[in-house]
Amino acid sequence: MGTIAIIAAVILGISFMTFVAFFGRLPALRNTPISFLHRLIWIHLPNGLLTVDRTLTNGRLTTSLTRLGRHLWYDQHPTILIFFFLLLSVGEYLYLPVAWPHFSFTHKFFGTIAILCPYLFLYLSAFTDPGVINAKTHVREMARYPYDFTLFHPGTSCETCRLLKPARSKHCSICKKCVGRMDHHCIFINNCVGANNQRWFILLLLSTAILTLYGGVLGLVIIRAKIQARFPYWTLLPWWTSTQAWNNGDLDFHRWLLLWSWGLQSGVAMGGVTLLALLTTPLVWGLLGYHLWLVYCGTTTNESMKWQDWQAEMDEGGVYKRRMAADGSREKDLKVEPAWTRWPVEAEQLMVRTEDGKPPRSSHRLPGEGEWEAVWRLKDVENLYDIGFWDNLVDVFLPYFMFKESKGRSPVDEREFGRERGRNRRRSS
C-alpha cells in the first residue's frame, strides 16, 4: 500500500496545484476555496516569506528568487514546453515496453495514432503564428471582426506596437506582441493561443485527453489481468467481489489493497504511468471542456474576464445600453474602423458605464439611437461574436472563413480599409 499511497499522493498533489495555479484567477471561481488557495500560494505566502527574508538577509534572497520567478512566468522560454514533451516521451518510454506485448493488433494500431497525435498538435500549437499583428498583417486583422462597442471599441491603440487594436485582439506581455482573437498565453506550448493556432491547441487538448484516458484504461486492464491470473477472486473495485469471497475471508478491504499494491509493484514503471494517466486525465478533459464551452459561448478566456468585469460593474449600477442603427446604416469612421469585415453581423448595441449611475447626458456624441436602458444582467447583453456553436467552430478551425460577401467585395478587398485610412491621412494633412 505504501507504493500506491506515495505515487497517488504525488500525482494528485501536482495535479491539484497545477489546477489552482492556472484556474485560481478565473472569474467563475471568485470567492471559492480555489481562489483562496491561489491567493494564499501566490500572494500571502510570498509576502510572509518576503518579511522573513528582509529580516534575515536584507531581501537579497527574495530579490534573486523574484528575478528567477519573473523569468519563468513572464519571459518567453521553452522550459515548460520541454517539460511537457519529456512528460509525454518519458512516460511512454516507461509504459510501452511492459504494456505493448499485451496489446491486440487493434490496440496497437489505434494506440500508435493516440501516441503520435499529441506530438503533432504540440508542434503545430507551439510553432504556428497565433495571429501576430504587425504592419503587414494589420489590415487583414482589422477586417477579421467588427467592433462590438461593448468589449471592444474603435480608436484604441496599442502603446507598445503603435497600431490600432483590432477587435478581439490583445497585447501579450510575454510575447511582446499583439495577437488577433487572443485567448491566453500558454506556457505549455511557449506561445499565445490566438486566431491562427487555437484549432491546434484544442486538438492538442483532445489528443492528450484521449491518450491519458486510453493509456490509463489499457494499463488498468493489464494490471487487473495480472492480478486475477493469480488471485481469480480479486476484482477492480471491492464491491464487485462476490459475497462468497468476502464471507470466506479470501478477500477483505485490506487484502484487496495489498493485491492492488502487488499488481503495481510487479511492473512499477507501467503502474506508475498508469496511475499518472488516470489521475491527470480529469484535468486534461476539464481543460478541453472549458475551451469547448468558450467556443460554444463565442468568447475567449480574455473576453470572459472582460464579461465578468462588466457583471461587477452591473452589480454596482450605472451600466446602460442603447441600440445601434437597426438597418445597419451606421456611418463608420474609416480612420479607425474597417469599411467591411468578413463577420456576418454588425454591432447591435452600445454599452457604457457612468460614474454617477445616471444615463449618459451627451448622447449625441455617442453612436446608437433611442433611449438608454439600464443593464443588470449579462444575459440581457448581446454577444456579437456568438453566431451559434457550429459557426463558432468554423471560425476557430477555419480562421479566414468568409462568412459574408459585401457589395461584391472579395476577400482581397479587405485592402479597402487601408486605402480609406490613407485617403483620410492625406485629407487631414
Asked whether residue 140 is assigned to any structural domain, the reply reads: no
Contact 126, 81 (CB under 8 A): yes
Residue 411 has pLDDT above 60, yes or no: no
Amino acid at 13: G
Q: Please indicate, yes or no, whether residues 272 and 392 belong to a single structural domain of this protein.
A: no
Residue 2 has pLDDT above 60, yes or no: no
Asked whether residue 181 is assigned to any structural domain, the reply reads: no
Q: Please indicate, yes or no, whether residues 288 and 158 belong to a single structural domain of this protein.
A: no
Distance of CA 245 to the CA centre of its chain: 48
pLDDT in tens, 309-368: 999 899 888 899 998 875 566 788 888 999 889 999 988 899 999 888 888 876 667 888
Q: Please indicate, yes or no, whether residues 388 and 273 belong to a single structural domain of this protein.
A: no
pLDDT in tens, 16-48: 776 776 667 666 667 777 777 878 877 778 788
pLDDT in tens, 240-294: 555 555 555 556 667 777 777 777 777 788 888 988 898 889 889 999 999 999 9
Q: Please indicate, yes or no, whether residues 7 and 151 belong to a single structural domain of this protein.
A: no
Catalytic residue among 158, 186, 192, 297: 186
Q: Please indicate, yes or no, whether residues 55 and 83 belong to a single structural domain of this protein.
A: no
Asked whether residue 35 is assigned to any structural domain, the reply reads: yes
DSSP, residue by residue, 57-118: HTTHHHHHHHHHHHHHHHS--SHHHHHHHHHHHHHHHHHHHHHGGG--HHHHHHHHHHHHHH
Report the run of H or E that residue 420 belongs to, with start and end. Answer: helix 415-428
Q: Please indicate, yes or no, whether residues 230 and 379 belong to a single structural domain of this protein.
A: no
Asked whether residue 211 is assigned to any structural domain, the reply reads: yes
Q: Please indicate, yes or no, whether residues 104 and 229 belong to a single structural domain of this protein.
A: yes
Average pLDDT of the chain, as a whole number: 83
Least confident of 171-185, 187-201, 235-249, 333-347: 235-249
What's the domain count of the chain?
A: 3
Q: What pLDDT is stored for residue 406 in this prediction?
A: 47
Name the percent of the chain lying above pLDDT 70. 81
**pTM summary value:** 0.81
Long-range contacts of 7-11 (CB under 8 A, 24+ apart): 7/264, 7/271, 7/272, 7/275, 7/276, 8/275, 8/279, 11/275, 11/276, 11/279, 11/280
Q: Respond yes or no: is residue 161 known to be catalytic.
A: no
Report the run of H or E that residue 172 belongs to, with start and end. Answer: strand 170-172
Q: Please indicate, yes or no, whether residues 275 and 393 belong to a single structural domain of this protein.
A: no
Q: Please indicate, yes or no, whether residues 313 and 390 belong to a single structural domain of this protein.
A: yes
What domain range is 22 assigned to? 1-72
Asked whether residue 333 is assigned to any structural domain, the reply reads: yes
Asked whether residue 335 is assigned to any structural domain, the reply reads: yes
Residue 419 CB contacts under 8 Å (≥ 6 apart), including other chains: none
Q: Please indicate, yes or no, whether residues 206 and 283 belong to a single structural domain of this protein.
A: yes
Q: What pLDDT is stored for residue 429 in this prediction?
A: 37
DSSP state of 328: S
Q: Please indicate, yes or no, whether residues 264 and 211 belong to a single structural domain of this protein.
A: yes
Asked whether residue 137 is assigned to any structural domain, the reply reads: no
Helix pair 79-99, 268-297: axis angle to 10 deg: 130
Contact 152, 335 (CB under 8 A): no
Q: What pLDDT is stored for residue 41 in this prediction?
A: 76
Q: Please indicate, yes or no, whether residues 357 and 391 belong to a single structural domain of this protein.
A: yes
Asked whether residue 47 is assigned to any structural domain, the reply reads: yes
